[in-house]
Chain A
Amino acid sequence: MVTTPLSQADVLDTALGDPWDDGNPAGHRAALEADERGKPFIEGERRLAEFGLNAQLVPRSEGGLFTRADHACELLRTVWRRDPGLALGFLEQRFDIARSLLPAASLGALDTALRAVTMMALETRVCGRGMAEVPLVRSTLTGVFADLLAADALCATTLRALHLLPEQAAVYAPSCGYLGTRLLLEGLEDLRVLLGTRSVLPEGRPAIVRKLARDSDAAVFGSGSRYACLAAILPQLPSLARGGRTVGWSGSAEPPKLLFDLGAELPELGPAPAPADARDAGHLLNTLIEAAGNGEAGVPAPVGRLARRLREQAARLRAECAGFGPGDLAGSPPAHAFEAASRSAVLLAAAAGRGVHRHRPDLLDETALAAVLDRLVRRLPAAGVLTQTERMEVEDHLWLELLRRVRQTRLLDLSSRRIPG
């Protein structure tokens, strides 16, 4: 998330203290100890109460301080970077926001896990060289980093859409729920596999990673199945086949620029709107999916080729959706409909990534975008796009960025915000 300096999240971070300081009663070590004993994380809860987190998550219309979903996410992510049950308890306030906030906020867990494993790689030697110099280690870490950025682009866009296009929540929220949580859980799994036999070490960074993975499993599975999210996307698929674009937002066929201008002002979040007709929502999906593949003319090679591949995939998806008859998606939809829904979520994420890059290149530069799109394309039934050399260049770029952020204690999401610890 992207906000002004000294945001509420910074205040909260400071109140919670340096998580890596073993002496901090609200730090990782304390959270681990409470977790080991199966007890609540008392000091953490006390500090959150003191900060008044509860009020921050109650909408203003109901007497609270909640005005912006992206700010709320930032706050929750601050908590999630440290501990389960702490962040989760606060999400039961409002279901429709919660559905989008959960995946968005839980990326905080992935941030910490990636940071922890990166730090460990920098400090450990294996077989006579630094662990961070091992090609497989770097590829894995930069891959997870790219996935985190992809997830953040999708989540950030979704949260802004809650304000800007509230009737279109049906488009964004389930895709965010599906893919955001998948990227989270798979990223955590990749990190665990990378740790290998070290992942069972009882203390230190592996233990933190393990706990965060457990927290995330509990939260994600506790809030429902990814299949439920996909089921919510199904009604939009037939309109994908019909093609065409949404006309709105001052007559343009493009998604509104404000959607991707992360951090820019947002209108206040109103009470839950009546959901739009699923077919109208589908028009928006179509537009966004096209945006994923549009305009590669004049765009330098890798991103251009990735955009072309995305467009092919969008066309393929559209053709498949044309095959859905009126009764197909009701009652007992076939498995391939769910598979189509999952691909639409991937294309939506790609559109979000491109949108963020276009309107805020300071948050997602071209090489990072190439990494994000490459990873997303590989989730589609498509052949790879980047050459071996291009992939290595992209990886090198992301590695340097990852290193920079870890050393400067900056977040690993799109904001790159500096944090106390």
Chain B
Amino acid sequence: MSRVSLEGAGVDHEELFAHWRVLARRDAGVAANHGATYLGAAPVWLVGEGRLVADLAEAVSRGDRGGLAAVEPEYGAQPGHSEVLAERVTDGYRLTGSTWPLANATGAQFITVLARTGRPGDTRGYSLLLVRRDEAPRTPSAPRGADVSGIDFADTLVPGSALIGDEGGGVEALLRALQLNRSVSSAFSLGAGEHALRLVAASEALREPGSPLIEQRFVRAALARCAGLLAATEACALLTARSAHCLTGELSVLSAAVKGLTQTVVDAVLAELAELLALGAGSGSVADDFQRIRRDHRTLTFLDGSTTSARNALIRRFPLLVSGFLHGKVDRPNLARAVDLGTKVGQLDRTRLTHRSILGCSAVQSLPELTRNLAATAETDGGSAPSALVRHARELTWLADELHARCAEVAPGPFPGAEAYDLAAAYELLYAGAAVLHLWRCSGTAGHDALWARVALAELNLWLRHRIGLTVPPRDEQDERAVEEFADRLIAAAEASAPLTPFGRHASPGEAQSW
């Protein structure tokens, strides 16, 4: 998993995502430590030069671990103030202050630190510095159950060569690196979510002889809904990882959306699964393990900032997204490449990573067109897109209209109100829905019953309505039957140790999907 540079050996983010997923299914904590290393190294790959890059490449290749000590602003649009001050001295910088959170603090050989080199609150007032273990005394004090701790600097001297990129360019570089990181770090949450789903779906606690809970309709429906939501999140995450290469210019939007989506969905899924597990008699230590999985997950999700900060990023871009949707702006050729899972993504052009997406989000903005195409195909082709899927797609598109109309009413400003955050959360769900439709369509399963996509979209549409504050229509019996059927497949897959989501392994084109 060590790569020399983004362009040289070429990090394929889709592969990275897949690797991390596999690892995270086994141990989300270990996977996250690798993620933390990537997070610490990414700014160096992006804007570092010469010896700094070469030295770090060598260090990472030999297995050194690293981390990032920088906090993105959470409540407002201004860049984060770091509590670490870096004063220029003769041969470099003197660091004072403390910072958090920092995964890997006890095990890290290097840390990328965002420190203040200029005026507080000035976007050009911060710089990134690469600090080696031996240079910085540490006083780690970890909260229970996670290697997340703080780091203190007391007049620590670092050489001038520790500067990553140019002085004052810290925030810009950090935000671009965060885009890359967020486009793959959803792998950790998804791994944890899938692991938990499998644990519960195959649990002995739900299979006590006599009146096994696994045969209860409500238990099966709950499991199916969890699986649907995870599948949707995975579709979204996969699309985003690929978009890092194909739709690089949109990554500021996509990475923010997938981050918030993943944290929200996986937290909710874990909570629901905990409820099911608590029903099981004698679930004792399995239940305790489960609470630990939930706690670890909560800490994990902070590695690349908070959901609030990700939603800030979306809210700031509302005008762009509204305009993009209104005018149907779509980067068709690159979107087509991004959604075609059968093809490998090309090299990432790091110069196209930008703070300012020009177009918005092609996946969402192409929804009306996509829905029309699906409906037309369903009619002419004798139903290759099941009519239920078209119904969900139409509802999603209608909700997209409603959502963008509300986003248009949000007044710009550095401190958005709560309702703006709700709209951002809704946008994440919309992006997920778009990902589901795009990936289903391109996955070569024409003629298939699209069961996973139908269940996923039904849940997303429900969540969207709640988020936007719209009435929820009465239940649909066809949808409920779909959930029951999906539950059958899911539970069979769990019992057979088979993948629980459509993307559990990459399918080659034409391969029949059991989902």
Contacts and interface: CB of A to CB of B under 8 A. Distances in A.
B462 to A, nearest CB: 9
Contact of B418 (A36, A135, A210, A332): A135
A344 B217 CA distance: 20
Q: Majority SS of interface residues in chain A?
A: helix
B308 A334 contact: no
Contact of A127 (B121, B218, B221, B470): B121
B100 A217 contact: no
Interface in B112-128: 121
A203 B144 CA distance: 11
Contact of B278 (A135, A224, A333, A338): A224
Interface string A331-349: 0111111100000000000
A204 to B, nearest CB: 11
A200 B121 contact: no
Interface in B283-325: 287, 291, 294-295, 298-299, 302, 305-309
Interface in A315-337: 316, 320, 332-337
Given A217-B291, A388-B419, A197 B101 contact: yes
B216 A332 contact: yes
Interface stretch (B71-79, B246-254, B441-449): B71-79
Contacts of A320: 474
A134 B101 contact: no
Contacts of B222: 335
A218 interface: yes
Contacts of B74: 126, 196-197
B426 interface: no
Contacts of A129: 76, 415
B275 A225 contact: yes
Interface in A364-395: 378, 381-384, 388
B287 A202 contact: no
A202 B142 contact: yes
Contacts of A217: 291, 294
B217 A135 contact: no
Interface in A212-239: 214, 217-218, 221, 224-228
Contacts of B415: 129, 134-136
B75 A201 contact: no
Given A135-B417, A136-B416, A202-B150, A333 B141 contact: no
A202 B308 contact: no
B52 to A, nearest CB: 27
Contact of A225 (B217, B278, B414): B278
A3 interface: no
Given A196-B309, A320-B474, A36 B144 contact: yes
B143 A202 contact: yes
A210 B121 contact: no
Given A221-B278, A221-B287, A225-B278, A136 B146 contact: no
Given A227-B275, A227-B276, A383-B471, A193 B307 contact: yes
A127 B279 CA distance: 45
B313 to A, nearest CB: 14
Given A134-B75, A221-B274, A382 B143 contact: no
A207 interface: yes
B16 to A, nearest CB: 24
Contacts of B469: 378, 383-384
Contacts of A137: 75
B133 to A, nearest CB: 21
Contacts of A136: 75, 308, 415-418, 421
Interface string B134-148: 000000011110101
Given A221-B278, A227-B275, A131 B75 contact: yes
Given A134-B415, A135-B415, A381-B471, A207 B143 contact: yes
B276 to A, nearest CB: 7
Contacts of B141: 202-203
A205 interface: no
A267 interface: no
A127 B72 CA distance: 11
Contacts of B142: 202
7 contacts: A126-B75, A127-B76, A127-B77, A185-B271, A189-B267, A194-B308, A217-B291
Given A202-B142, A225-B277, 19 more contacts: A126-B74, A127-B73, A196-B307, A197-B100, A199-B302, A202-B143, A202-B149, A207-B143, A214-B291, A214-B295, A224-B279, A225-B279, A227-B218, A227-B276, A320-B474, A332-B215, A333-B218, A378-B466, A383-B469
Interface of B: 71, 73-78, 80-81, 100-101, 121, 141-144, 146, 148-150, 215-218, 221-222, 267, 271, 274-279, 287, 291, 294-295, 298-299, 302, 305-309, 414-419, 421, 465-466, 469-475, 480, 483
